[in-house]
Amino acid sequence: MSDLPGIVIAGASGRMGQMLIHTIVQSDKVKLAGALERAGHDWVGQDVGVAMGGAALGVVVTDDPLEPMAKAQAVIDFTAPEATLALSKIAAQARAAHIIGTTGMTHDQIAQLEPASRHCAIVRAGNMSLGVNLLVKLTKQVAAALDEDFDIEVIEAHHHHKVDAPSGTALMLGEAAAEGRGVALNTVRDVARDGITGARKRGDIGFSAIRGGDIVGEHDVLFAGQGERIVLRHMATDRALFAKGALKATLWALDKRPGEYDMLDVLGLRG
């Protein structure tokens, strides 16, 4: 067990944090090397297993990432943009792979990861499931095959606790559609319609967000033409699939050279 790669989980108390800890504890390929939470959080100083309502795991939750990162080979991070940027610098210093599932990052924040990527492997994805990443690839192919007579709308639904919209996955799909059409998403993005907005602009890629209940994640890419519609859909019913995808990305990244990667690289779907 001691020879297994050590993984630190950032945002240990969150939904994904707890799911990731369960996944790692059940794995025979990695071990839990640390659990991080923000300063002042109730879990800091507690054994993470006890804090989760179970048996002790021998890992105490800390708000100082330096010690656990120094003895880990990777960190999995589903937190918030500013926390991810701060952690990227420490992961780079430790030469530990940084697996980022944080959503809501701006283009400027994403660009700020580049210095860290010179020293460690960074795998960043708005969604780490196999099905979603196949959907991304299909979206690009369909968008490339259809002209602007087909309006594109990305429709996503999540639980009522989600704080960002559109979701990271929706933006991945929008980027794929824009790339398929050979345009930059920020020039054709259409969001937040309300009131008298006027007719839809030809070539725009629209986003619609639904928030409610305990929806894990649902994403449709709608290509709407005259007299016909094409709908590509992915529905997630179990958050465990994201944790399994993140662990797959971690194992893949352990022996990779420093650089920025995504799930298409992990799954061999690049190109």
Report, as residue numbers or ranges, the catalytic residues. 158, 162
Sign (positive/negative) of CA torsion 174, 92, 83, 123? positive
Going 184 to 206 to 129 to 121, the CA torsion angle's sign is positive
Whether the CB-CB separation of 116 and 91 falls below 8 Å is answered with: yes
- DSSP symbol at 41: -
- The burial class, CB within 10 Å (0-12 / 13-18 / 19+), for 131 is middle
* Cβ count within 10 A of residue 168: 18
Burial of 3 (0-12, 13-18, 19+ CB in 10 A): exposed
| Spatial separation of the C-alpha atoms in residues 173 and 139, rounded to whole Å | 7
| Contact by Cβ (8 Å): 152, 143 | yes
Cα 94 to Cα 134: distance, rounded to the nearest angstrom: 32
Radius of gyration of the chain, Cα coordinates, nearest whole angstrom: 19
